[in-house]
Structures are given as structure tokens and as C-alpha cells.
Amino acid sequence: MQAQSASFNFADLLALVASEVPTRTAIVCGDERITYAEFAARVERLAAWLEHHGLRAGDTLALHLGNRIEYLIGFFAACRLGALPFNVNYRYVESELEYLYDNARAAAALVESTFLPRVAPLRARPKILLAVGGEHDEFAAALAEATDSPSPARTARSDDRIIIYTGGTTGLPKGVVWAQSDLLRAALGGGGFFSRKGPITAPAEIVERVRESPPLVTFPVAPLMHGAALWAALSSIFAGHTIVLRATAGFDAAEVLDLCVRERVNILVIVGDGMGRPLADALALEPARWSLEALMHVGSGGAVFSEAVQRSLRASLPRVVTASSLGSTESGTLGAGAAGGDGLMKFAPRPDLHVVCEGQRLAVIGETGILARSGPLPIEYFGDPERTARTFVELAGTRMSLTGDFARLEADGSITVLGRGSTCINSGGEKIFPEEVEQVLKSHPAVLDALVVGMPDARFGERVVAVVALRRSVDAEEGVTVDDLRDHCRGALAGYKVPRAIAFEGSVSRSNTGKPDYLWAKEIASAAGL
């Protein structure tokens, strides 16, 4: 694909899809459903409204929303203007939001009405703020007052960008900046996931791919604020599929299966065992309740989707194919790979996958290092050149993204993925960084030191557990309790980051240089049955 020769702006591609299948249902959310023609028209009108109120190419637009149609309308409207849409984790509390809005230099925001109380006091509050849904809904009025379309599309659009925020090694979110043309190739199958012709080489070819693809129904269960769910939605939109969104918060297996039946879902996209296990359990408990003859594929990304859970799902749904995909916001989709006899994911030899050893050299046969990907990659971490340099490296004249996963280069050139190469905790697809939780714990006046680790969890893969040393001045009879510390954390952290369990020790083990001994902390937590 020659990105400089033609425009691969996502809004342009949506317009082409809508021109081919204008009457096909594009998005279903609750009782609302819109066609591709309506979808494209609303994108144009929102873009016109945002432009009228001052949003320009290069500005950033916050999508502070749950799963609803307006999320995707806002995303494509930003792309239409050359603005950069970015995701906001709606579970963040005020201090986390302050950092995120400030870091992204948010010029505008679409904010779900229920989240407005957290946004209103922010110093970094954007100048353009549009409330969505609820009693204070402004979205419909904005579309009604907008002109038919914004300014004519710009000619140079291939390098237009988006930002996807993920967690950082210090716990602070990182904004991963992608050129849309590169993300299309790295994570969206080049617009050809569902076509025998494969990736497009020119924008107009998207129409051919839509004609080839059957009108499938895709249901990304996770919030669109997560990259894996957004990528699943975008890949399906560029194939002209129908997207089903679940607006309610939390995860309810029966509700998900009910929606699969109601909308005749063909492709279900989940996040690991945290969703897969409840689905498998529900199907096993009531095997005759759900008629799922339309369901063909259950795919997972963002968390471990164990072979045991996949087998359980296939036992209830023998005609359904299951797959676990590996990828990251910094690397794109790496693919499904194959499970080896040890249960680890293995990738066949590929020119875009590498193992990088300490000292930034390529591994030789049998060596273990960090899994890396080359090819189309992000441009940078937004406003963070130092972290950009650490993650995106150049070896042997090739730019690569270090994924953070340990991997081993096998004798046949295949790569075995061994697991996370950092202390990052993955709980149900949510990335939690120990340093952030530790800092909050240590801000409590009674806490001397703390370490935070991930412990095995049957449903979510890992759960957050803390080992805490209290100050000697704290009276054992009247000192703080586990509940006290959890309440303290809830004031500064999203709920999923709050430790599920806490062990108290006289001191916390660290090296002579002060580095945390996470292995020791895991042993303490295990011995305590946490």
C-alpha cells in the first residue's frame, strides 16, 4: 500500500461503504438502529457542528462515552475533519481524568451526561463540550442545528492520525498515535479481513470488498474505549457488516447471549476468560435456552482466552470456531497463532515478527527475549519522546515495536510467546500497573510501604493483590483495616485497580538498590491464600 498516493482516511472509507450499502443496518444499540446512509449523514452533520464551534485539523476530540452509536459517529466525525479522536476510560476518577484530558490537549469532548460531574471541575476541561444522552442530552440538538456538511474534504488525508490511550509503565495512560493508513494495515486487515482479495491498495477497492463480504453481524462486547473492541468494530464497518453494541455497563452472560439470539450475531468478540468463562458456564447450565445457529465465530483479544474455556464453549457450540488473538495498541494485531502442547501461543515464522534480546539485538535459535513487530507501526507516544524511543527501536535498519511480551525463537523459526515481560497486571482485559496503585496506597498516612502484584483468578485471569507494611506508630488494635485501605484507593483509582485483597507484613522486601521484590510479594500473597 502506498499511503502517500491515495487517501486512506477512515471517514473517506466509511463514505464509500455507505454509498455501496446505504440501506443496510450499520449499528444496533438497544432499541436504536441506523443504516449506513444514516450513519454517514450523522457523521457529516456532527463534523459540521464541531467545525462551526472551532474544532480544526490537528485538534483532539475526547470520546468520553460508553458503548453507544454516538461513540462511532464521534470517532468518524473527528476523522472527517482531520482531528484526532481519542478514547477516555469512563471508569476513571477525577484525578485520572485531569491527567488524561491535559495530556491529550483535548480541544473538544463528547461526554455521556452521567459522566459530566467528573468532567465539570477539571482544569483541563475542553472548550467544546457536548453532552450525550440522559436528561442533559445536547447531541440530537447539535445534529439538528448543523449544516449539511463541513468544509470540503482536504486533499492530503493519508497521514491523518488517531490516538488510542493505553496504560503506561508508571500507571499513567499513554497516547499511542497511529496514522490511519498504518492502523488500517496493522490492525484492520487492510480493509480486507473478510475478502478473498485481501487488503486494499486504493480506497475505491473497499467497495469491491464490501460486495464480496456477506452481510455478517458482529458483536464486540467490550467497551469501545478499548482498542480491541474498536478495531473489531472498524474492521466490520469497512466490510459493510452490522455492528451490535451493548449499552449497559458490566458483563452479564445471559444478556450477551440474549442479544446474540435477537440480532442473529455471526461474530462475537470478547475479552479473554473473564467473559468466556461466564458464557461457557451459562451455556452448560441451560443448554436449551439459546438458539445460536447464526453464531459462527467467538474471538478474543486483550486477555488470556485459555484453551480450557475455548473447549468448554465448543462443547456447547460445536459448529462455532474459537480463537485467541494477540496484539497490543503499540503493535497492532499480531494474529491468532496456535496453541502448543504446553498451552502457549506459537506463531509460525513471519517476516514481521522478531525476538529482541537484551542489548537490543535479534535473538538466535533458542534464545528468549521480547516479542517485537515490524511493518506499519505507530508514529509515537503523544507528547512523550523518551518513552517513544524505548518502545519503538531500530535494529538492522528496521523499525520495530517492543510488545513487552517474553518470547522464545524456536529451531524452525517459529516464535513461542511466554507471557508478559513486565509487572503489568491484566484483569479481564484491563491493564493495571503496580506502581500507580502502590503510590496511592503509600499516600495513606498509616502505610509505610507497599507492593502490588497480580494473582491468578479463574474468571479475570489476574486479580490485584497488595502486600502492605504499616508504620510502627499505628496501633495494632486501632490501626487501619483492609477496608480502610480499599476505601482510600477508591478515592483515587478506578474500581478495577483497587486491590481485591491486602496482606499486612512488618516490612516490604526490596533489593539493595531499592527495587521492589515482586516475587517475594507473590509468595506472601500465595501463602496468605489471596
pLDDT tens digit string along 279-306? 998 999 999 999 999 999 999 987 667 7
* Type of residue found at 240: G
Q: Which pLDDT does position 340 carry in this prediction?
A: 62
User: Rounded to 5, what percent of the chain is helix, strand, coil?
Assistant: 30, 30, 40
Domain regions of the chain by residue span: 10-250, 337-420, 427-527
Q: Is the dihedral of CA 106, 111, 114, 116 positive or negative?
A: positive
180-239 per-position pLDDT tens digit: 999 999 999 999 989 889 999 999 999 999 998 889 999 999 999 988 899 999 999 999
Residue 425 gets which letter from DSSP? E
Q: Which residue has 452521567 as its cell numbers? A: 114
- CATH code, residues 427-527: 3.30.300.30
Task: Find the helix or strand (DSSP H, E) in which 524 lies.
Answer: helix 518-527
Q: What is the pLDDT of residue 521?
A: 93
Number of residues that this document lists for the chain? 530
Show the low-confidence residues of the chain (pLDDT under 50).
Answer: 1-5, 168-170, 476-477, 512-514
Q: Which pTM does this prediction carry?
A: 0.83
Per the CB < 8 A criterion, the answer to whether 62 and 104 are in contact is: yes
Tell me the fold of 337-420.
Luciferase; domain 3 (2.30.38)
Point out which residues pair with 335 in neighbouring strands. 326
- Cell of residue 53, nine digits: 464551534
What pLDDT score was predicted for residue 152?
A: 74
Would residue 337 be called left, alpha or beta, if left means φ above 0 and alpha means ψ between -120 and 50 degrees? Answer: left
Amino acid 169: pLDDT: 40
pLDDT value, residue 3? 38
CB-based contact 440:488 (threshold 8 Å): yes
**pLDDT recorded at residue 419:** 64
Residue 508: what pLDDT? 86
Architecture of domain 10-250: 3-Layer(aba) Sandwich (3.40)
Enumerate the β-bridge partners of residue 355: 371
Instruction: Give the C-alpha separation, 171 to 485, whole Å.
Output: 19
